[in-house]
Amino acid sequence: MERIMLAHGSGGRLSHELVRTLFQKYLGNPYLDQMNDASLLPGREQLAVTTDSFVVSPLFFRGGNIGKLAVCGTVNDLAVSGAIPKFLTLALILEEGLPMDELERVIESIAETATEAGVAIVCGDTKVVERGSADKIFINTTGIGYITDRLVGPEQIRPGDEILITGTIGDHGITILSEREGLEFQTPVVSDCAPLNGLIDAFYLPGVKCMRDPTRGGVATTLNELAGQAGVSMLLVEEQFPLSPSVEGACEMLGLEPLYLANEGKVLVIVAPEVAEEVLLNMQAHPLGRNAARIGQVQEGKFGLVLLETPLGGKRIVGMLEGEHLPRIC
Amino acid sequence: MERIMLAHGSGGRLSHELVRTLFQKYLGNPYLDQMNDASLLPGREQLAVTTDSFVVSPLFFRGGNIGKLAVCGTVNDLAVSGAIPKFLTLALILEEGLPMDELERVIESIAETATEAGVAIVCGDTKVVERGSADKIFINTTGIGYITDRLVGPEQIRPGDEILITGTIGDHGITILSEREGLEFQTPVVSDCAPLNGLIDAFYLPGVKCMRDPTRGGVATTLNELAGQAGVSMLLVEEQFPLSPSVEGACEMLGLEPLYLANEGKVLVIVAPEVAEEVLLNMQAHPLGRNAARIGQVQEGKFGLVLLETPLGGKRIVGMLEGEHLPRIC
């Protein structure tokens, strides 16, 4: 069987075959192998739960694919919430006619990334829709994590706190854009797509107040959310943003603001000033945080404004993303 | 804003507006209102988890719509596993151009059904894809339940156990088929789509060995799964299947086997013979179980065969669903 057929989503014989030959083969573990309507899992008194659907186009891009992204996105939402990611569910919507080997590569990548992130795929679902009713593969992952004693959240943020980012910004956004539009750069841009729980475990100290992964909408939108929730202002210093030369070049050429580009392997961290330096050094000592930098500071200001200091010393307001310049980034 | 635009999935301003004006308005609760990357929930030592995506077409049908179905499907998978459904996540993939009032009716129905089933929507996600890249609305719900002391599962099944069903079969399948093909019946068929946790609480007794909701693939496929997992045979008696007159008529007219039609509000129950009568009476006393019936018996037989005794006294093997006669039933 070289292509996905409608019968693979029937719940009947071909559905069972797909489960056995693909999902159990790559993803099998004692939870998944229960093969009942629901999987029984060990829990905790406090849980963190998050859900995300992935519709990225193209399916495969430099540095990742929709499967890797679907694991990272959900693992990261748990990790930035201060939780330990433990379990993922996996639900696929497939377009009739999808080449089976593309699906297999995606599932293989899900297996690899789940192992890297230390999470188990505990249950799943597959639906198949007629040709033309979906675009190849859509994936939902829902994540369950155990709560730690990490007290993080926007309500912890105070004026004077420092704003750190764990590395260069905009890499994922520019990668997708360049793959989609066939743009070529001297040094190809690679998506930063990565599970971030290991990095967070490496840099976390008490004094870390809040963490977010700036995906859709980028750093600007994420900081606007936080500033609004915390009732503070934020001042960013443009010159301090870590940017890869290719992303910088692409942004100049295309008139894009790196602050609005999606990232899939970065954490924005708000940290008390007295531990900022130590947290930053911890980040830089980890392979995923080598380019970590201070990019700004939290200030008084109840309107939740995010301000940007430009290289010439001027300041302007940076709002949330308006409209949509690059759909299906994740 | 009368239609969904790509920017509703941007993560930016319009995404936030949609969350506020639609999701929080209808679904708001203290878990959802945390508005962080992950929601913090009270857990338990043992959890049941299940995930399901819904791609039913048409979106609205007699007796339900994709929103109601998305809540029922996941609640029911938890309930038949012996768990108490507690929390649902909700992830939407929307097609650009979707009329906003259709989305609103779906969300309203999700809110209503979640209330009926006693579950809270605890986190969500919305993606928007370009016109033509998806068919209107796809929904994923992932459910978390608390484990009870109900010891159910295929490993409990023994020869001699009775097979019960909580009501008429095939109603959902025939409803979708008739809506899609414009078939008219004297008495319109109505989907049985309903949350089943209340019914299960009403009929459950120790001695109930296993429960499943026969959705995709119908009663035949579900019983084949159970017979295979339990290493037993099953003998069904065709004359004892509860069938509504319209479903019976439609099946005769179209040459369909009710045993393979999808149900969205029925439970197959395998029960020890000594409590079968009491469980059946409990079912019949509940509004969702009035037409409950005994439909067969578990027998010795290690090959996992499901046999059907026809009205003329013959027996034939009933296999899993082969192929797909009706895609996008849920």
Are the CB atoms for B138 and B55 separated by under 8 Å? yes
Chain-chain contact of B321 with A42 (C-beta, under 8 angstroms) = no
User: pLDDT exceeding 90 applies to what percent of chain A?
Assistant: 91
- Give me the residue from B40, B45, B91 closest to A140, CB to CB: B91
Alpha helix (H) ranges present in chain A? Answer: 13-18, 24-27, 66-80, 100-117, 171-181, 197-203, 218-230, 245-254, 273-284
Chain-chain contact of B80 with A37 (C-beta, under 8 angstroms) = yes
- pLDDT per 10-residue tile (average), chain B, 330 residues: 90 91 95 90 95 98 98 98 97 98 98 98 97 98 96 96 98 95 87 98 98 96 95 96 95 92 97 98 98 98 92 93 87
Segment A178-205 mean pLDDT: 93
Q: What integer pLDDT is reported at residue A6 of this predicted model?
A: 94
Question: Chain A: residue nearest B148 by CA?
Answer: A40
Residue to test with chain A: of B18, B51, B84, B90, most A Cβ within 10 A = B51
Q: What integer pLDDT is reported at residue B1 of this predicted model?
A: 61
Q: What share of chain A is helix, strand, coil (3-state, %, to 5)?
A: 35, 25, 35
pLDDT in tens, A98-141: 999 999 999 999 999 999 999 999 999 999 999 999 999 999 99
- Give me the residue from A77, A92, A128 closest to B37, CB to CB: A77
Minimal Cα–Cα distance from B147 to chain A, Å? 8
B23, HSE (Cβ side, Cα atoms, 13 Å): 24
Whole-angstrom CA distances from A150 to A24, B82, B203 are: 35, 34, 44
Nearest one of A158, A269, A147, A159 to A205, comparing CA atoms: A269
Minimal Cα–Cα distance from B210 to chain A, Å? 11
Residues of chain A contacting residue B157, judged by C-beta atoms under 8 Å apart: none
Are the CB atoms for B106 and B141 separated by under 8 Å? no
- Give me the residue from A50, A135, A327 closest to B123, CB to CB: A50
Chain-chain contact of B217 with A52 (C-beta, under 8 angstroms) = no
Residues of chain A contacting residue B130, judged by C-beta atoms under 8 Å apart: 327-328
Asked if pLDDT for residue A41 goes beyond 70, the answer is: yes
Minimal Cα–Cα distance from B249 to chain A, Å? 24
Q: What integer pLDDT is reported at residue B259 of this predicted model?
A: 95
Nearest one of B255, B295, B81, B78 to B167, comparing CA atoms: B295
Minimal Cα–Cα distance from A147 to chain B, Å? 8
Chain-chain contact of B44 with A41 (C-beta, under 8 angstroms) = no
* Helix (H/G/I), strand (E/B), else coil: B129: strand
pLDDT-based confidence at residue A32 (cuts at 50, 70, 90):
very high
pLDDT-based confidence at residue A1 (cuts at 50, 70, 90):
low
Chain-chain contact of B142 with A147 (C-beta, under 8 angstroms) = no
pLDDT-based confidence at residue A88 (cuts at 50, 70, 90):
very high
Domain boundaries, chain A: 6-147, 154-317
CB under 8 Å to B96, separation ≥6 — which residues?
B3, B4, B5, B6, B128, B129, B130, B131
Cis amide leading into B58 (omega within 30): yes
User: Per CATH, which fold does A6-147 belong to?
Assistant: 60s Ribosomal Protein L30; Chain: A; (3.30.1330)
Strand order in the sheet with A120-129: A120-129, A83-95, A137-147, A46-54, B39-42
Q: What integer pLDDT is reported at residue A181 of this predicted model?
A: 87
Q: What integer pLDDT is reported at residue A185 of this predicted model?
A: 83
Residue to test with chain A: of B15, B125, B219, B328, most A Cβ within 10 A = B125
Chain-chain contact of A134 with B132 (C-beta, under 8 angstroms) = no
Minimal Cα–Cα distance from B88 to chain A, Å? 10
pLDDT in tens, A211-229: 999 999 999 999 999 999 9
Size of interface A-B (CB pairs under 8 A): 269
Residues of chain B contacting residue A93, judged by C-beta atoms under 8 Å apart: 53, 55, 93, 138
Residues of chain A contacting residue B328, judged by C-beta atoms under 8 Å apart: 127, 129-130, 133
Q: What integer pLDDT is reported at residue B19 of this predicted model?
A: 94
Q: Which amino acid, one-letter code, is at B219?
A: V
- Domain at B154-317: CATH code: 3.90.650.10
Are the CB atoms for A59 and A102 separated by under 8 Å? yes
Minimal Cα–Cα distance from A109 to chain B, Å? 20
Q: What is the ipTM of this complex?
A: 0.96
